[in-house]
Amino acid sequence: MIQLQDVSRTFFRGSTEIHALRGASLHVRAREVIAIQGPSGSGKTTLLCMVGTLDRPTSGTIIIDGINVWNVSDQKRSYLRARTIGFVFQSYNLIPELPAWKNVALPLRYGGIALGARKRRAIDALAAVGLEDRVHHLPSQLSGGEEQRVAIARSMVIHPHLLLADEPTGNLDSQTGSQIIEQILTLSESGRTTILVVTHDPKVANRCARRLQMLDGQLHEYPTALGSSER
């Protein structure tokens, strides 16, 4: 379903080159659930951005569902994100001036769904994460856990092929974090969704079928020795 071939990403900070990814390769099959671990600054979030078509690699290719995503127009790439890729971030990333249901409905709007349908689907998605009584609340009126559940509802509402979660429990207490992880993993069990989770939490990683380690911009299968089972 997802293929990363020799993907590198270099940033420039002033005149200093920063190699966030150094020839990372990865093959992910449909409905796989993968945890990506690694120290801060190792390139985990950059990898997720590459897979989510949010950032262009300096070199290498990224193929999703058979499409080389950087060979198509921005319009098509945006549509791909709106229809098939769900995102959950550590800092929730909700739009502060929009109520919960409108936040959830945003990807539907960009996917070309009519207003009536997207409101109905957004409310259903919020109900699925237990927030049916928070539909019209602004993000500032919600707790951290509720905000993250709104973010999950936003990613679920499009029935994504691929869910990318970047430290989804990082800002939450352990109990709320566990609930959130349950809700994310439910997506894989109940449907067709492939999940990539970036996490520091071993409990979360242990719930995933496959674990990858990110070190100095390169991917390694966990817990095998570095380099021997790089994919």
Partner 1 sequence: MWQKALINRLSRRIMMLVGFACVAFGLTLAIAARNGVEHALDTLIEPIGRNLYRIPSWREDGSRPDEYREGFGAELFQQLERSPGIDSLCGQTIIGGTAFFVGSRSSGNYSDYQGYFVGVSAHYFALHDLSLALGRYPKVGEGAVAVVKQELVESLFDKEDPIGRTICIATDRIVEITIVGVLAPISEGLYAMSYTDCDVFVPADFVPEMVPPNPYGMSLSTGLKVMWARVDPTDPGTGLRSILDVVGDDVDVDDIRAWLGFAFTQKRHIVLLYTVSALALLFVATINAGAMGLTAIAQATHGIGIRRAIGARRFNSAVRVFLDATSWAAAGTVIGGVVAVGFVPRLERLLNFPILFNGWNLLGFIALLLFAAIAAAVPAVRAVRIPPLRAIRLTPLRHETHPLRGVGWLLTLSCIVGISAVVSVIALSDILIARIDELFAGVDRNTLVVAGGNAIRAGVSLPDSELEFADLEALSEIDGIQGILGESLVRMHGVLYNDEAMLGSLYRVHQFGDAHWPGSLLAGKLPTDQELASGTRVAVIGQTVAERHFPDTNPVGEVVDISGSLFTIIGVFNFPKSNLERTAGAWKIMIPASTVDDLNGMTLGWIRLNPTVNVEETVLRIRDTLVARHPNEAPPQVEGPAEEMGLQIAAVNGITYGLRRMSLLTLLVSAFGLGSLFWSQAVRRRRQIGIHRTLGASRRLVFWHVFRRSLATTSIAGAVAFAFGLLGVSIMTKWFYAEMSFRLTWLVWGFGSILAAASLGGGIPALWAAKRSPAETIRHGRL
14 Cβ contact partners less than 8 Å away, ≥ 6 residues apart: none
Q: Report the nearest approach of partner 1 to the CB of residue 135 (Å).
A: 19
Q: Does 93 bind partner 1 (CB under 8 A)?
A: yes
Q: Report the nearest approach of partner 1 to the CB of residue 6 (Å).
A: 19
CA-CA-CA-CA torsion sign (151, 123, 180, 33):
negative
Among 89, 148, 161, 205, binds partner 1 (CB under 8 A): 89
Q: Report the nearest approach of partner 1 to the CB of residue 40 (Å).
A: 14
> 118, 108 in Cβ contact below 8 A?
yes
Q: Does 101 bind partner 1 (CB under 8 A)?
A: no
> What tokens were used for 77?
């790439």
- In angstroms, rounded to a whole number, what is the distance separating the alpha carbons of residues 92 and 116? 25
- In angstroms, rounded to a whole number, what is the distance separating the alpha carbons of residues 170 and 174? 9
Among 63, 106, 135, 138, binds partner 1 (CB under 8 A): 106
Single-letter amino acid, residue 13: R
Return the closest-CA partner of residue 113 out of 147, 79, 66, 140: 79
> 194, 155 in Cβ contact below 8 A?
no
Task: Considering only the stretches 78-86, 127-135, 185-193, 201-209, report the one whose residues sit in contact with partner 1 under the rule CB under 8 A.
Answer: 78-86
Among 17, 40, 75, 133, binds partner 1 (CB under 8 A): 75
Among 110, 200, 207, 210, binds partner 1 (CB under 8 A): 110
Binding region for partner 1 (CB under 8 A): 12, 14-15, 45-46, 49, 52, 54-56, 74-75, 78-79, 81-83, 87, 89, 93-96, 106-107, 110-111, 154
